[in-house]
Amino acid sequence: RQQKEENSTPEPYSCYGHAPLAHLASSPDRRRGESRGGRRPRMFRNQYDTDVTTWSPQGRLFQVEYAMEAVKQGSACVGLRSATHAVLAAANKSANELSSHQRKVFRVADHAGVALAGLTADGRVLSRFLRNECINHAFVYDAPLPVSRLALRLADKAQVCTQRSWKRPYGVGLLVAGLDESGAHLYYNCPSGNYFEYQAFAIGSRSQAAKTYLERRFEKFNAYTPDELIKDALSAIKETLQGEKLTSSNCTIAIVGRKEDGTVEPFSMIDSKRIQEIIDSMEAADEAPAADVPAESSSMQEDRGDAPAARDAPAADEPAAPDAPAPMDI
Amino acid sequence: CRGAATGSTRTTAGPAWPSPARTTAWSPPTPASPSDTTSSRASTPRSASCKADKCVIASSGFQGDIKALQKNLAARELLYQHQHNKRMSCPAMAQLLSNTLYYKRFFPYYAFNVLGGLDSEGKGCVYSYDAVGSYERTGYSAQGSGSTLIMPVLDNQLKSPSPLLVPARDAVTPLSESEAVDLVKDVFASATERDIYTGDKVEIVVINKAGTRREYIELRKD
């Protein structure tokens, strides 16, 4: 039985390494009836996972953990930030070839946006909530809602659903990216109501590949230019596609930040033409895709070296690019 | 040809600083070349605010209510942009303003509004309101303290001749953008002479398909 417990998803707030109440397992589960008592292999999870308001003996809320599983099923999203800019990228997966892909990146305000993974319907509703919060704050205080407060409001809303028996947790993880007076920020909000600030993060299916890619580079991100951030975001998404070709139709990128001249570049999606240009220049620059093997440090050096050269090609487009998408090109 | 102007009253509850005159003038497209649709509008800095990029509101009356009303509309417009992925058209904003005003039918916004901009066909439009949301699309309008002085002049210059006249007179006299702006300046200069609340400065906002521009014209300061 302990083996089964250990195999379950590791949970940040579980502090027990073992099952202290193991001796109770032998008593039949009253709710399930006695017919199950003898034959069914007993897993602790199934006894305590009916309600979100039921604790397990290990101090876990299984419904919340299951909600976090739902996030892992969604297609990948990646976020990174420098001191002045934050970038969100999402891999677009459509249910089948005939349908369009789901929207995963939403503009929440001029200075902030979210990318989500998991139940996109929940994400849509939460985006609407965040938009309202930003509008109301701006109405009352005539100032943009700071990103940390935005993440906090979202987290509080998520927490409510973990403590009401008639609700269920939101099945969506959100990467909240935004710009405020203290610079660019990236937060990850879980269905559990926890949130953390990140330099770079990836969520969704196959996100571990992207996380590994980012872990190797994140220390340099603060000094990155917006273009470099976008390139790394695309590379990270490429990692999650695992062999599938990266094109502008299977990824979405959005950026927000403060430009060098001090003006704000509002949160906006980058249009697909420009994404394709960047992808093409990336492919021209590096022959091999960014390697997962950690030993390939020399090839990483090359990537870094090539990237500035490749950037010159789209640099001519760059002054036009922020203006090129229509204002509402979401 | 058409134009629209709004004058303004000094705020009833504000400090006794002289308030700039407010005027909104608007001229419609020339029929000969429908592609050159232009519209010109003027509104004062205190009461004008840009809603959609082709829609401007000018208000006169109580500044507190004006501010609240315009903030309200700005927030609703942002919400519209989020939901519909585009900016609000002028006719849509016109209806929204009317509904917002009527919502407070029994404790109204003390604001007399003129809305102007380009509609979805690119033609200029002017909407004129009372305090509780009754509105009408017109060719020109004036609101506020100087309106009684301005409106007759605009009627004289811009109103279509009666269709009952024989021989039939051409209903529409095209007004170019510069003619419209000049007319606006003239009516304001005239209103400033006799209306004590009108004067100091006028802000003229001109919206055409190329974009929006603003001019500030000095008026008599007495």
CATH number of the domain to which A168 belongs? 3.60.20.10
* CA dist., res. B135 & res. A36, Å (int): 72
DSSP character string of B55-84: EEEEEEE-HHHHHHHHHHHHHHHHHHHHHH
- Most distant pair of Cα atoms in chain A: their distance: 74
Nearest to A135 among B53, B75, B85 (CB): B75
**Contact between residue A238 and residue A253 where contact means Cβ atoms under 8 Å apart:** no
**Contact between residue A252 and residue A281 where contact means Cβ atoms under 8 Å apart:** no
For tokens 């033609």, name the residue.
B123
| Domain boundaries along the sequence of chain B | 46-218
Q: How large a percentage of chain A has pLDDT more than 70? A: 73
Question: Which residue in chain A is spatially nearest to B67 when comparing CA positions?
Answer: A139
Query: Is A39 inside a domain boundary?
Result: no
Residues of chain A that touch chain B, judged by Cβ-Cβ distance less than 8 Å: 107, 128, 131-132, 135-136, 138-139, 327-328, 330
Pick from B4-18, B47-61, B171-185: least confident: B4-18
* CA dist., res. A35 & res. A304, Å (int): 64
**Contact between residue A86 and residue A176 where contact means Cβ atoms under 8 Å apart:** no
* CA dist., res. B217 & res. B86, Å (int): 33
pLDDT value of position A43: 56
Q: How far is CA B100 from CA A139, B57, B97, in A?
A: 16, 14, 5
Residue B131 has pLDDT above 50, yes or no: yes
Residue B171 has pLDDT above 90, yes or no: no
Classify the C-alpha dihedral A314-A318-A319-A323 as positive or negative.
positive
**Long-range own/partner contacts, residues B103-108 (CB < 8 A, 24 or more apart):** B104/B132, B105/B132, B105/B133, B108/B132
Output A258 or A311, whichever has higher pLDDT: A258
Q: How many domains does chain A have?
A: 1
Chain B residues whose CB is inside 8 A of the A136 CB are 75
Selection from A176, A322, A304 nearest residue A231 by Cα: A304
First to last CA, chain A: 50
* CA dist., res. B44 & res. B20, Å (int): 7
Chain B residues whose CB is inside 8 A of the A139 CB are 71, 75
Tokens of A123: 């994400």
pTM reported for the whole predicted model: 0.73
Nearest to A135 among B79, B86, B87 (CB): B79
Residue A275 has pLDDT above 90, yes or no: yes
**Contact between residue B115 and residue B122 where contact means Cβ atoms under 8 Å apart:** no
Which chain B residues in 37-66 lie under 8 Å from chain A, judged by CB atoms?
53
pLDDT value of position A17: 47
Query: Is A41 inside a domain boundary?
Result: no
* CA dist., res. B4 & res. B41, Å (int): 7
Tokens of A54: 């039921």
* CA dist., res. B160 & res. A45, Å (int): 81
Is residue A288 very low, low, confident or very high in pLDDT (cuts 50, 70, 90)? Answer: low
Q: How far is CA A282 from the centre of its chain?
A: 23
Chain B residues whose CB is inside 8 A of the A129 CB are none
- Highest CATH level, class, for B46-218: alpha beta
ipTM: 0.70
B77-119: pLDDT as tens digits: 999 999 998 999 999 999 999 999 999 999 999 999 999 999 8
Output A330 or A261, whichever has higher pLDDT: A261
A152-177: pLDDT as tens digits: 999 999 999 999 999 999 999 999 99
Residues in chain A: 330
Contact B87 A327 (CB under 8 A): yes
pLDDT value of position A286: 74
Question: Which residue in chain A is spatially nearest to B77 when comparing CA positions?
Answer: A135
Contact of B211 with chain A, judged by CB distance below 8 Å, is answered with no
Cα pseudo-dihedral A47, A49, A51, A55, rounded to 10: 80
Query: Is A55 inside a domain boundary?
Result: no
Question: Which residue in chain A is spatially nearest to B71 when comparing CA positions?
Answer: A139
Query: Is A18 inside a domain boundary?
Result: no
Is residue B168 very low, low, confident or very high in pLDDT (cuts 50, 70, 90)? Answer: low
Residue A5 has pLDDT above 80, yes or no: no
In sequence order, what are the beta bridge partners of A274?
Answer: none
Selection from A115, A93, A121 nearest residue A251 by Cα: A93
A56-93: pLDDT as tens digits: 999 999 999 999 999 999 999 999 999 999 999 999 88
pLDDT value of position B170: 58
Domain residues for A239? 79-94+102-283
Nearest to B85 among A128, A139, A330 (CB): A330
Preferred mutation among A110, A129, A136, A139 to probe B, highest tally of B CBs within 10 A: A139
Contact of B209 with chain A, judged by CB distance below 8 Å, is answered with no
Give chain A's radius of gyration (CA, Å): 22
**Contact between residue A285 and residue A306 where contact means Cβ atoms under 8 Å apart:** yes
Contact A131 B75 (CB under 8 A): no
* CA dist., res. A127 & res. A305, Å (int): 39
* CA dist., res. B105 & res. A242, Å (int): 61
Residue A22 has pLDDT above 80, yes or no: no
Cα pseudo-dihedral A141, A126, A163, A15, rounded to 10: -100
Nearest to A139 among B71, B85, B86 (CB): B71
* CA dist., res. B192 & res. B179, Å (int): 20
